[in-house]
Structure formats: C-alpha cells, structure tokens
Amino acid sequence: MIPIYDFDQVSPEEIFSRETDRADVSGAVAAIIADVRQNGDSALLRYAREFDHAELTAVEVPREAMEAAALGLDSGLRAVMEEAAANIRDFHRRQRRESFVVSEKDGVILGQKITPIEKVGLYIPGGTAAYPSSVLMNAIPAKLAGCREIVMVSPPTCGGDVNPVILAAAYIAGVDRVFRCGGAQAVAALAYGTETVPRVDKIVGPGNAYVAEAKRQVFGQVAIDMIAGPSEILVVADGKSNPKWVAADLLSQAEHDKMASAVLVTDDMALAQAVQSEIERQLPALPRADIARASIEGNGKIIVTPDLLRALDVANQLAPEHLELCVDQPFDYLARVRNAGSIFLGRNCPEALGDYLAGPNHTLPTSGTARFSSPLSVDDFVKKSQFTYYTAAALEAVQGKIAAFARQEGLEAHARSAEIRFETEGGDER
C-alpha cells in the first residue's frame, strides 16, 4: 500500500526515489564496445544470437519492410499514430530557430548560423515493451531540424524481425534506415560505425542500464541527449480532485518500471486516504500489476501539506519529470512552477495525453535534472556557429584595445596578431 506522510514527517530527499540499478555494467559495456569497434557487423550478428536469440543474416531492415509494416498496421491504430505525428510536427515546428546577422557598427558584421546535425541515431527499445511513441517523439524533431540522415536501431525479436509497430512508426516519422540491433552493441555501432551501420553524430533515445552506460562511454565520440533514469510523476491535487482519476494517473507511471516513482502531494487528508484506497482497488486489474505494485510500495508516496503553495514548493525542490496540477485554476499556479520536465494543467490532462497524442515531447529530464535541462526538442538536433567580419578600418579602431587585453593575460602573440596588420614593412605602424 502506498504510504501517507505528513509534510513534516518526510524529507525532500526521501520523496522521490533517485536510485537506479546499481549493478556495475561498465566493464561489460566497455568490452562490447571494443568488440563492435574491432569486428563490426559480425559482432552485431553474434550478439543478436547471444542476447536476442535471433539468427540474422543481415543487420539492416529493408525499406520495403518498413512500408509493409505501415500498410499492414490496423487502420484505427495507424490513424491514431498519424494524428499523433501531426500534433508532434505542429508543436515542434514552432521550435525551429533562425540564423541572425547584426550590423549595427560601421565595418562590423556579426552573426549566428544554425546548421542541422548531419547524422542522427535513434535508439528504440523493442523487448517486452515496444514504444512506437518514442519513435515519433525522437524522429520528428530531428526531421524538422533538417538532419540529412536519421537512422534507427532496435533489438530484433527471436524471429529476427524488428517489432512491426516500431517499423510502422519509423515509416510514418520519416526515418531513413533501420537496423536490427539493440543494447550496448547498437550504441557502439552508431558511435563508431560498422560495415553496414553508419557512424552518426548524435545518439538519442531511452534504454536499459547497458544502453545508458554505453551512451555514457561513447559521449565525446558522439553527442547524446541525456542519461535517463526511472520515470517519475508528481501530482499536486486539491480536495476537489477525483480520487479515481488521481490513482489512475499515479499508476500510469508505476507500471513503467519497479524503480518508477509516483507521488501525490495534496492539502487534503481525505483525498489522500481516498487515493490510497483507490490505488489498491485499481492495481490488481493491471496486466503489469507486479511491476506497478513494486513501484508503488517501494517508491510511491502521498504527502499532505498545509496548503497548495507548500505543495508547489515540494514540486520545485524535486524537479519531477512529469508534474500534474489537478486544481480548478491551474494557470494561476503555472508561474510558480520553476522546475519540471512537462507540466499537465487541470483535471482533464492525464500524463498519458503527453505520452501519446498532445504534441509536446515525452522525452524528458529525470532524476531532478529538470532543474537545469529541458525536454527533447528541435534544438537537440541543430548546432550553432557564430561568425565575425571586420573591415580593416573597423579592426584598426580597436586593435589597441585587443592588444592591451591580451597583454594583461600574458598572451603576447594574441596582441601581435592584431597589431601586425597595421605595421609597415619596417615595423612601424603604417
């Protein structure tokens, strides 16, 4: 049963579980990465036999198989996925940045140039749970950013195929190439390239402890999006909230993972007790009841605060991945939220709406990192260059200032690089 605490009985550090799988996989991951770097596709095929129990003759999924998967998808599900894709495109299209030029001083032109990252790799889990929504959320912003090539890796089934729903989502989202590989070996293939898998510039997407550790180890060789921890939800709810709805929202995250955290913060003890009872009523009916039970009993909490403002203070301290504000006038509280990955406003906005259909991204900062990081966006798939142009006259006007600053730092060559352009052949200033 989920425990109920008075606000004064529990410390902020105890509210959310920030623990992850502590098994040290770094050595095993390092060995896999080295193997893939040396042996390429043959290593990928060997790991497919060893880890996925799949006998593969080729790593890449034919383009025709992606199209066939999309065409073979249940028409109702395909319509929903296409609607979701349209919503995601519409939201993320507004994130696109423009280059700019500044020329406010005579002889001086400054600017910033926006350039898409050329090659991006998407890691999409494909084991016991397949997440086509993650394909849409990762691929569409990359497509909008203008990335030249978007490739995807996903573990094969024991039959050697990538889950057809994953393939259908890849086709809908505009993924260019798909490869049958998962785990640390797939991350290594994207980071270093193989005979078949192209080397990419950035890797995004969620995965297990081996995938997370592999992303950590290849960072610097390639860029990564984040090291994601277990899923989190914090619901701030007043006494008018429907306990059935609140319980369902908490369980929606608890069923993800035994390490997931589901927390309710309310100013109403009656609601707290009603939600506690409702969780017990709803939980046994879930197909993933064992996982949800472990999450609720290990990491779930209900906290009763003196008022809603104190509840928001808790939210800001914890910086949750998902924050629901189940109150009558949610926009009145929005300005008080400083730290959260994605905010769901009002009583009719379950977190699942954001996972699948609304349009904002569901790849979010976890483990308190919403204090300083942001949801996945088009910005993650572009890079910025800056440029500077000075005429001779403009440089001459400031060369003395440059030289003085450089010499203050003890960098004579820096100073000379500015001064030398205005010296005559004899060494005097021209």
- Which residues does the annotation mark as catalytic? 321-322
Q: Report residue 113 as tokens.
A: 């140039």
Contacts of 62 (CB under 8 A, 6+ apart): none
Residue (of 293, 250, 69) closest to 165 by Cα position: 69
* Residues 182 and 208: beta-carbon distance below 8 Å: no
Amino acid in the structure at residue 420: I
Cα three-residue angle 81-169-160, rounded to 5 degrees:
140
How many Cβ atoms are within 10 Å of 116's Cβ, its own excluded? Answer: 18
Q: How far apart are CA 400 and CA 153, in angstroms?
A: 55
How many Cβ atoms are within 10 Å of 118's Cβ, its own excluded? Answer: 13
Percent of the chain that is helix, strand, coil (3-state, to 5):
45, 20, 35
Q: Which residue bears the tokens 């060789």?
A: 221
* Residues 349 and 355: beta-carbon distance below 8 Å: no
* Residues 298 and 257: beta-carbon distance below 8 Å: no
- Paired sense of beta strands 261-266 and 301-304, if any: parallel
Q: How far apart are CA 122 and CA 109, in angstroms?
A: 38
Q: Report residue 142 as tokens.
A: 């990359």
